[in-house]
Each structure stands twice: as structure tokens, then as C-alpha cells.
């Protein structure tokens, strides 16, 4: 299930995205010591900036590459994508040149689904050392009633009723809502029109993260990812709801480091 967020400092995030190395990627800290790239895929309505603090928290051996989708932050002037096949095709063209060293993937909510589909389309020679999916039910999990095609007013009401994540300051600012609504609607269209096509399971290890108080993706829905890999599957739950990647950031990053068997400690 997609997760939305609009922070109170979103005006700055719309204008500033430092260290962009490609329209599709933001790398906060380039390091000659890095021997692994961690590609991070944001949730619905989110941009690459949500992972801006990760590079300082993770060991220097990890280069955090935050994926930036069209229509947000430094790509605000571009049309958001609404079809998973189109998005995956463009991601592949843009990101394959960055797979010249070992890499892992992390995706939260809708971002996990996008990462999963991108991974499925990669040539077999490109295999991540690990796929971390977070707060995302398995692909064939039934979805709530669609709302992407609702009129603006009803769409906003449905977002608030289901997710309650849009601050009042944003709701009362027509200019800000005008900027965010196309992205939110596009992301929900992407999610609600997505259809899983059966195929071979992933060949890489998969770890599913979840929040103990998350009513949008419970433990059973995360466990349902197990058949989607022929390799090792693990699962880890953290205190918190759908926002646990923020409220439990330190233990989450520690779990990633430990799973990747990195020598450095946080």
C-alpha cells in the first residue's frame, strides 16, 4: 500500500536537491572508499531528499543513491509517470550504468514495489547482494478501493481519511496543494493500476521490514513476500507505524548494516 507524506519544509525540498548526479539519482556523499551502492526508492509523494541523512549514518563503504522520480523536487517541471512498465523501462535505462559495483536495494511502501519490478527486469548478470523491502504488502495482496480518479476534493478527503498525513498548513495552501496533487495522484494511479505478472522468483536474498503498529502493511502481508525469492528470506519488525523508517531510523540502518555483513558499526 502506498504511503504519502508532505513535510512542513516541503517548499525547500521542492527547490533544493544537492549533489544530483543524474535526474534519476541523488548521491549525498561520493566516496572513493565505497564498495557498495544502496539504491533507495521513496514512498508515494516522496522524493530523494527523504534519504538525505542516510549517507551520514551509514558506513563510508556504502554509497547511498536516492532514486528521484519525475515530478518532484529537482524534477518538479516533469510529468509524473503513472504506468509501472513505463517507469521501470526508464529506470533501467537511467540506472544500469550505475551497476558497475556491488549494489543493494531499499524501497519503502510504493518504493518497494517499484524496486521489485525494476529488479525483475534487470539482466541476470545484475544481481543485488540484497533487496530490502519496507512497509509494502506482497504484490498479489488485495488493495483498498481505488481513489486515483476521484475529483480533487474527494481525492484529498480520501487521502486524509485513509492516511491522515497531509498537514493542515499544506491543505490550506492552494499553491502547495497544486504542486503536490499531480504527484500524489500519479503515484496512486501507478499503485492502483499495477498488475502483478507471474514470473520467476528473485534470485537474491530478501529482507522484509515492517512497523509493529502499521495498519497499512501487517506482519502477515510482509511474510507473504517469502515465495517471491528462491534465496534466503528474513523479516524484521520495528516499533512504530508506517513512518517507522523515520521513528526507528537507527535500528533500521543497523539492521541493514548487519544484514550486509559490513565491518563498520553505526
Q: Which residues are known to be catalytic?
A: 109
Sign of CA dihedral 255, 261, 262, 264: positive
Cell of 249: 531510523
CA distances to 9, 20, 34, 248 from 5, rounded to whole Å, are 11, 22, 30, 17
β partners of residue 38: 64, 104
Cell of 66: 536516492
Burial class (CB in 10 A: 0-12, 13-18, 19+), 141: middle
Cα distance between residue 118 and residue 87, in whole Å: 9
Cα distance between residue 16 and residue 220, in whole Å: 39
Amino acid at each position: 500500500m502506498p504511503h504519502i507524506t508532505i513535510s512542513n519544509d516541503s517548499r525547500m525540498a521542492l527547490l533544493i536537491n544537492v549533489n544530483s548526479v543524474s535526474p534519476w539519482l541523488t548521491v549525498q556523499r561520493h566516496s572513493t572508499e565505497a564498495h557498495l551502492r544502496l539504491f533507495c526508492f521513496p514512498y508515494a509523494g516522496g522524493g530523494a531528499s527523504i534519504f538525505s541523512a542516510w549517507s551520514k549514518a551509514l558506513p563510508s563503504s556504502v554509497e547511498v543513491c536516492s532514486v528521484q522520480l519525475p515530478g518532484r523536487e529537482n524534477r518538479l517541471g516533469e510529468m509524473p509517470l503513472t504506468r509501472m512498465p513505463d517507469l521501470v523501462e526508464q529506470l533501467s535505462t537511467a540506472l544500469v550504468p550505475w551497476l558497475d559495483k556491488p549494489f543493494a536495494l531499499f524501497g519503502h511502501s510504493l518504493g518497494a514495489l517499484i524496486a521489485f519490478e525494476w529488479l525483475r527486469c534487470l539482466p541476470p548478470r545484475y544481481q543485488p547482494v540484497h533487496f530490502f523491502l519496507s512497509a509494502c504488502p506482497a504484490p498479489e495482496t488485495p488493495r483498498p478501493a481505488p481513489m486515483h480518479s476521484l475529483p480533487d476534493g474527494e481525492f484529498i478527503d480520501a487521502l486524509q481519511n485513509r492516511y491522515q498525513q497531509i498537514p493542515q498548513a499544506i491543505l490550506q495552501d492552494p499553491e502547495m496543494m497544486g504542486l503536490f496533487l499531480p504527484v500524489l495522484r500519479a503515484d496512486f494511479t501507478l499503485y492502483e493500476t499495477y498488475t502483478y505478472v507471474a514470473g520467476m522468483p528473485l534470485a537474491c536474498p530478501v529482507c522484509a521490514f515492517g512497523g509493529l503498529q502499521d495498519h497499512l502493511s501487517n506482519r502477515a502481508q510482509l511474510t507473504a513476500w517469502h515465495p517471491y525469492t528462491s534465496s534466503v528470506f528474513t523479516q524484521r519488525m520495528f516499533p512504530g507505524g508506517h513512518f517507522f523508517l523515520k521513528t526507528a531510523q537507527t535500528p533500521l540502518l543497523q539492521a541493514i548494516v548487519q544484514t550486509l555483513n559490513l565491518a563498520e558499526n553505526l
